[in-house]
Amino acid sequence: MNEVKWLESAVFYEIYPQSFKDSNGDGIGDFNGIIEKLDYIKDLGCTAIWMNPCFDSPFLDAGYDVRDYYKAAPRYGTNDDMKRLFDEVHKRGMHILLDLVPGHTSWEHEWFRQSCKAAPNPYTDRYIWTDNTWEAPEGMNALIGISERVGACGVNFFSHQPALNYGYYRPHKPWQQSTDSPGAKATLEAMKDIMRFWLKAGCDGFRVDMAHSLVKQDEDSKGTIALWQDVRAFLDREFPDAAMVSEWGEPDKSLQGGFHMDFLLHFGPSHYNDLFRCEHPFFGGGGDASEFVKAYTANRDKSGGKGLMCIPSGNHDMTRLAKYIHGGRRKIAFAFLLSMPGAPFIYYGDEIGMRYVEGLYSVEGGYERTGSRSPMQWDDTANAGFGSSPADKLYIPLDPSPDRPTVKAAQADKNSLLNEIRKLTAIRAAHPALQSRGDIEFVYCVKNEYPLAYTRTGDGEKILVVLNPSDREVSFPFAQALGDAIYTYGDHAVRSDGKVTVKPQSAGWYRVADA
């Protein structure tokens, strides 16, 4: 597999296209709006973009319900506008991943309409159907009573997202197909065609939605791993530079499947939420990081010491970071995010501390996620500079608070989170040890104690990262002398008697001599 060089030093910015920048005043973000703001993203020190699905869709799950994979959703622009976005990204030396949703389509997709027909046709086996209307596929919700065809169709997420058929790992019912059945193989080839189309158009790769979920009843993921290996082999032949990042949460499996990097998931066993989003988050100053570190280390060991797990500041599925982490502690949280292996992902607006907007009605299947998807706040003009539509035409209402943060105010304040992140990304860019592939070793992490300390090593350099979001002065044993600080927030750490002592609410990245 090709190493994708740019990925190793990448810092991503996640763009939720409907909420980023509306260039034509219809209340919804669009490609031209994103183009207008690329310099802003670059200036933040982000080198790459992950754009959420932007394909034709009835938008019952904000675009994760694709109706036509080959067509940009008209509300964002045309395919040509999207290509122009790719060009503008590349002109700035940046890269862009599209969001591939291979597990399911919208129930309005033409494949599904054909698949619902009683008469056999090329799409009969495109989705997971049982042969009995009253029997749902085991372990799945199903659509029943909507087709001329006899059978129930499995769904992956919402009821309008029928599951595509990539086969069962060990089929044991007559309607279950194997992964090498013609139907399952045709689905995979169709997905490769889609990837081919957008890679030819100029995108740099894909973030893959629910990548772990394709082959059914695949407990050890062997079938799904083999499927992605097949995809990687195709990419190596035709698009060796295509970058692949999975929403999977088990790097030992996804990396075997040929993904370059895997996301740390905010649900499941990762303990990510212990750090950022729980009653007492670690970065809130009174929590625990030890379970997170345990799970992180186990995953890292299982994947051969590769730390290629991407840790996001947030995303369109979780409550905003700013709800739980306040003030200067947000800077400490970013000093963590930007010093961990794997590519960090910054969710749009987190860099200015955008808030979770409470009390909104659900928009496009957002439900409780809607409050994390509100329009980006650029400045103090109408609609916070998001666009010129009437306020009631906005895709999601803006944060109504009079003191809502904006990019303009953050840029003007030299102590803002935004300017701190610019500093952090610049330092990360200058030190390969801090980037994706640098080694990590946890130095101090004790249950319910502070600080969290680890070293990052690479390219002949070793850097000690110390994070103390608590209100206490704390210390930990450390055998080596501290060299110069490449970054500090709050007071500088002090080393004496074999111990490093750090002040309340401080963070630092220090050079250490490699022993």
Q: Which residues bind ligand GLC (CB under 6 A)?
A: 61, 64, 101, 157, 209-210, 316-317
Among 437, 100, 337, which residue's Cα sits nearest to residue 242? 100
CB of 247 to ligand GLC, least distance (A): 6
Is residue 454 a contact partner of residue 447, using CB atoms and an 8 Å limit?
A: no
Distance between CA 369 and CA 18 in Å, rounded?
A: 14
Give yes or no for residue 34 binding Ca ion (CB under 5 A).
no
Q: Is 109 helix (H, G, I), strand (E, B) or coil?
A: coil
Is residue 32 a contact partner of residue 24, using CB atoms and an 8 Å limit?
A: yes
Residues 194, 195, 200: CA angle, nearest 5 degrees: 100
Give yes or no for residue 20 binding Ca ion (CB under 5 A).
no
| Closer by beta carbon to ligand GLC, 261 or else 293 | 261
CB of 69 to Ca ion, least distance (A): 22
Distance between CA 168 and CA 170 in Å, rounded?
A: 5
| Closer by beta carbon to Ca ion, 268 or else 390 | 390
Distance between CA 399 and CA 216 in Å, rounded?
A: 41
CB of 64 to ligand GLC, least distance (A): 3
CB of 363 to ligand GLC, least distance (A): 13
Is residue 165 a contact partner of residue 125, using CB atoms and an 8 Å limit?
A: yes
| Closer by beta carbon to ligand GLC, 144 or else 210 | 210
Give yes or no for residue 317 binding Ca ion (CB under 5 A).
no
Q: Is 416 helix (H, G, I), strand (E, B) or coil?
A: coil
Distance between CA 114 and CA 126 in Å, rounded?
A: 9
> What DSSP state is assigned to residue 454?
E
| Closer by beta carbon to ligand GLC, 75 or else 316 | 316
| Closer by beta carbon to ligand GLC, 140 or else 210 | 210
* Axis crossing angle, helix 222-238 with helix 182-201, rounded to the nearest 10: 40
Strand partners, 462: 457, 512
| Closer by beta carbon to ligand GLC, 135 or else 317 | 317
CB of 378 to ligand GLC, least distance (A): 24
Distance between CA 450 and CA 473 in Å, rounded?
A: 9
When CB distances are held under 5 to 8 angstroms depending on the partner's kind, the choice from Ca ion, ligand GLC, none that residue 22 binds is Ca ion
Contact segment (CB under 5 A) with Ca ion among 14-22, 259-267, 268-276, 319-327 equals: 14-22
- Cβ burial, residue 381 (10 Å; 0-12/13-18/19+): exposed
Distance between CA 391 and CA 362 in Å, rounded?
A: 17
Q: How many helices (H) and strands (E) does the chain have?
A: 13, 20
When CB distances are held under 5 to 8 angstroms depending on the partner's kind, the choice from Ca ion, ligand GLC, none that residue 26 binds is Ca ion
When CB distances are held under 5 to 8 angstroms depending on the partner's kind, the choice from ligand GLC, Ca ion, none that residue 157 binds is ligand GLC
CB of 493 to Ca ion, least distance (A): 48
DSSP structure string for 139-190? TSEEE-SS-SSSS-EEESSSTT-BBB---BSS--STTPPBTTSHHHHHHHHH
| Closer by beta carbon to ligand GLC, 36 or else 317 | 317
Residue nearest to Ca ion (CB): 30
Which run of H or E residues covers position 487? strand 482-489
When CB distances are held under 5 to 8 angstroms depending on the partner's kind, the choice from ligand GLC, Ca ion, none that residue 199 binds is none
| Closer by beta carbon to ligand GLC, 197 or else 367 | 367
Contact segment (CB under 5 A) with Ca ion among 28-36, 349-357, 400-408, 429-437 equals: 28-36
Is residue 61 a contact partner of residue 157, using CB atoms and an 8 Å limit?
A: yes
CB of 375 to Ca ion, least distance (A): 11
Contact segment (CB under 5 A) with Ca ion among 29-37, 183-191, 399-407, 450-458 equals: 29-37
**Which of 1, 6, 24, 192: binder of Ca ion (CB under 5 A)?**
24
Give yes or no for residue 26 binding Ca ion (CB under 5 A).
yes
> What are 343's two structure tokens?
């590519």
Distance between CA 40 and CA 463 in Å, rounded?
A: 29
| Closer by beta carbon to ligand GLC, 162 or else 458 | 162
Give yes or no for residue 30 binding Ca ion (CB under 5 A).
yes
Strand partners, 100: 208
CB of 346 to Ca ion, least distance (A): 23
CB of 28 to Ca ion, least distance (A): 5
When CB distances are held under 5 to 8 angstroms depending on the partner's kind, the choice from Ca ion, ligand GLC, none that residue 56 binds is none
Residue nearest to ligand GLC (CB): 64
Q: In angstroms, how far apart are the furthest CA atoms of the chain?
A: 81
CB of 99 to ligand GLC, least distance (A): 8
Distance between CA 297 and CA 332 in Å, rounded?
A: 21
When CB distances are held under 5 to 8 angstroms depending on the partner's kind, the choice from Ca ion, ligand GLC, none that residue 209 binds is ligand GLC
> How many amino acids of this chain bind Ca ion (CB under 5 A)?
5
When CB distances are held under 5 to 8 angstroms depending on the partner's kind, the choice from ligand GLC, Ca ion, none that residue 316 binds is ligand GLC
CB of 18 to Ca ion, least distance (A): 9
When CB distances are held under 5 to 8 angstroms depending on the partner's kind, the choice from Ca ion, ligand GLC, none that residue 88 binds is none
Distance between CA 456 and CA 438 in Å, rounded?
A: 6
CB of 101 to ligand GLC, least distance (A): 6
Cis amide linkage into residue 405, ω under 30° from 0 = no
| Closer by beta carbon to ligand GLC, 210 or else 486 | 210
Q: Determine phi and psi for 477, rounding to 5 degrees.
A: -70, 135
Q: Which residues bind Ca ion (CB under 5 A)?
A: 22, 24, 26, 28, 30
